[in-house]
Amino acid sequence: MRNDLLRTTLTSFFVFCLLCLPASAFAVDDIRQEKTMPEGGKAVLTFDTPLLTMTETPFTVELIGSTGKILADAAVSLSLVMPDMAMPLNNPKAIWLKDAYHGTAIFTMAGEWQAILIVQRPGHDLVELTFKLGEVLMK
Ligand SMILES: [Cu+2]
């Protein structure tokens, strides 16, 4: 009787571990994505750490003009959205520091997320670029 209980417990634990393994095995270590901006040049969005729920996750945005010049005059923010459902507004700002715009994101739920990069430069049209971030995993 006692042995059965132990076996059941161990089996459950083993199955639980098997279920957990695939998610952690495929966690993305970092994300660096580039998009071309409408007026030329490019925007680069980088997350240096894996994307986990309820975790302060630093990100950087680099803006490079069509002539290769680094653009430091923009107001930059992300709009973090889940494509499959309505979520509360989640729009972290990114502040210019040294050579890029830096901000902190918090993903409030596990699943598929996108970051819409919003760039407003003086004298230019508002730019919105959508980056697919893939799966954010449970912390
Ligand atoms: Cu959600």
DSSP of 102-130: EEEE-B-SSEEEEEEEEEE-TTS--EEEE
Per the structure, the count of domains in the chain is 1
pLDDT tens, residue by residue, 79-130: 999 999 999 999 999 999 999 999 999 999 999 999 999 999 999 999 999 9
Q: Is the dihedral of CA 27, 30, 36, 37 positive or negative?
A: positive
pLDDT at 105: 98
Supply the range of the domain harboring residue 103.
Answer: 28-136
- Model confidence band, residue 28 (pLDDT cutoffs 50, 70, 90): low
CA 59 to ligand 1 centroid distance, Å: 20
4 found inside a domain? no
**Residue that is written with structure tokens 């889940």 in the block:** 82
43 found inside a domain? yes
9 found inside a domain? no
Query: For a pLDDT cut of 70, what percent of the chain falls above it?
Result: 80
5 found inside a domain? no
132 found inside a domain? yes
Query: For a pLDDT cut of 90, what percent of the chain falls above it?
Result: 77
CA 65 to ligand 1 centroid distance, Å: 34
**Between 101 and 31, the higher pLDDT residue:** 101
Rounded to two decimals, the pTM is: 0.79
Return d(Cα 45, Cα 102) in angstroms, integer: 10
pLDDT at 30: 75
* 61 has a pLDDT exceeding 50: yes
Of 41, 43, 28, 39, give the one whose Cα is nearest residue 117. Answer: 43
18 found inside a domain? no
pLDDT at 32: 96
Q: What is the CATH number of the domain that holds 55?
A: 2.60.40.2480
CA 108 to ligand 1 centroid distance, Å: 7
125 found inside a domain? yes
pLDDT at 48: 87
17 found inside a domain? no
Distance of CA 100 to the CA centre of its chain: 17
pLDDT at 133: 96
CA 82 to ligand 1 centroid distance, Å: 6
